[in-house]
Amino acid sequence: MVFLVLGVFLVSVVIQAREIRTVSYDQQARFFIYEAEEVVTIYNDRQSTNDSSLKERLGILSNFLNADILIIDAGGNKVYEGNSCEIQSSLFGQSAFKNKVLSGNNVVFAGRVNGYNQDVFLAAVPMIKDGKVAGAVAICSPLTAISQHINSMLLITLSGALLGIALATIISVFISRKLVRPLVKMEENAKLIASGEFRREIPVESEDEVGRLASSFNSMSKQLDQKIQAIEQLSKQRQALLSDVSHELRTPLTVIKGYSEAVLDGLVRSKEQQELYLQNISDESARLKRLVDDWLDLQTMDTDKAFDNMEYVVLNKLVLVSVERFKHLAENKGVRIDTCVPEDTITISGNIDRLKQVLTNLLDNAVNHSNGKVIVELGLESAQAYITIKDDGPGIPPSELDNIWDRFYKVDKSRSRRGTGTGLGLSIVKQIVEKHGGKVTADSRLGLGSIFTVYLPSGELAGF
């Protein structure tokens, strides 16, 4: 009877071990094959492994899978390899293995490769392009993690079997299903992640190995989503920056080149014409310098150190001094600047140089667009200091009010070729004010002028 019980027990253990091993290997194989096919899609879309974003994405995927990725072409030559791909390379060196993959078949390998003392799990798929096999992708990882997982389940089965064959069988089936279910869920979520739904999470129902694996999966999914979004955002910013800068630099550089060549080639006959050409060259050079200076200002303000030197600033004095600096320029343009400053002192905490820059940019815009009058008002409203600058110019179309804070944006496109604006002034104003914990608003009506209002927290230091 004892031998019968032991026999049934051993058979049950063997059956359970085989089922667990088969299910685990099958899940891992399908998971690796699916991810390898996604690598094929990514590679075909990118066209080149010299693409840094492709390498970074493959590196993220390799870390996520805890596996190495190898890509070969139709001739068996390496196109991309991770940090440690010697085992894959050794397998691909075997003609039978390589020929099977390059003939269009998926290959799964589990075991030990000659010359290496480590058991591995490997899945390889052909890389199809234009209906032809253009190479292959292999994903390989040590069998240690899978073996440990299988061994842990067998240990649970053995412990439960000591209480009885019937009870052990019931418990082992229950546990195996409980452990395999998260793996199935991981496979489903991995497919969704590969299709672009990166923020996928698995409910963590335990604190054992599978629970910790599910937690790791959730953490990896979140990090992958963040990194992919960061890469996409960086790419968009670089493209936008390149487009904006090239657009702003092209015309002044063309003007400078054209006038310079005219002078050098002797096409300018009179002294007056030569002075005109040189003046145009000087104006465009000055415009380029302002553009570069404004751009460097924006780049500097992206760092926290740009606002380290904070102090108490008396806005009454700052407004009066700033207006006084513009009175001569305003008089030459036939513009009168009226100020309304209260007798009570209004003090804020801020960077005085940056605040001067805010008033300078807003006053410059107001004077240049005014038909004869600019009004500057300082006051307090709901524990906030405000500075309002109003002009009686042509105004800004309502459809463009939300865009005036964008870098390089200009309401009057023709003005970008005539003179002074770089399209960065209001962007600088907005960033400086927000760094002080405040906000800036714009209101305008066509034919009635524009009103720009800066709100700044009064008294205490705002977030610095």
Residues 321 and 449 in one domain: yes
Is 454 among the domain residues? yes
Residues 369 and 440 in one domain: yes
**Structure token digits, residue 152:** 């842990």
Residues 150 and 282 in one domain: no
**What does the pLDDT look like over 121-146, one tens digit per residue?**
888 888 888 778 888 888 888 777 67
Residue 284 has pLDDT above 80, yes or no: no
Provide the CA 251 distance to its chain's centre, in angstroms: 31
Assign residue 108 the CATH number of its domain.
3.30.450.20
Residues 104 and 185 in one domain: yes
CB atoms within 10 A of CB 241: 13
**Structure token digits, residue 42:** 């990514």
CA dihedral sign, ordered 221, 222, 227, 233: positive
Find where tokens 């320029």 sit: 329
Is 211 among the domain residues? no
Is 219 among the domain residues? no
User: What confidence score (pLDDT) does residue 320 get?
Assistant: 93
Averaged pLDDT for residues 54-58: 78
User: What confidence score (pLDDT) does residue 9 get?
Assistant: 62
Query: Last residue of some domain: 242, 268, 302?
Result: 302
Is 328 among the domain residues? yes
User: What confidence score (pLDDT) does residue 86 get?
Assistant: 67
Averaged pLDDT for residues 60-82: 79
Query: Last residue of some domain: 253, 276, 302?
Result: 302
The predicted model scores a pTM of 0.43
Residues 181 and 286 in one domain: no
Assign residue 269 the CATH number of its domain.
1.10.287.130
If one counts the domains in the chain, the total is: 3
Residues 27 and 169 in one domain: yes
* Alpha-carbon torsion, ordered 250, 252, 256, 258, to 10 deg: 60
- pLDDT tier at 463, thresholds 50, 70, 90: very low
131: left (phi over 0), alpha (psi -120 to 50) or beta: left
Averaged pLDDT for residues 202-211: 69
Is 286 among the domain residues? yes
Residue 426 has pLDDT above 80, yes or no: yes
**What does the pLDDT look like over 152-204, one tens digit per residue?**
776 776 676 666 666 656 766 666 666 667 677 777 777 776 666 666 666 66
Of the ranges 17-31, 189-203, 348-362, 414-428, which is most confident? 348-362
Residues 189 and 163 in one domain: yes
Q: What percent of the chain has pLDDT over 70?
A: 69
Q: What is the residue range of 428's domain?
A: 304-464
**Structure token digits, residue 106:** 């998926």
Residue 388 has pLDDT above 70, yes or no: yes
Averaged pLDDT for residues 387-403: 87
Residue 288 has pLDDT above 60, yes or no: yes
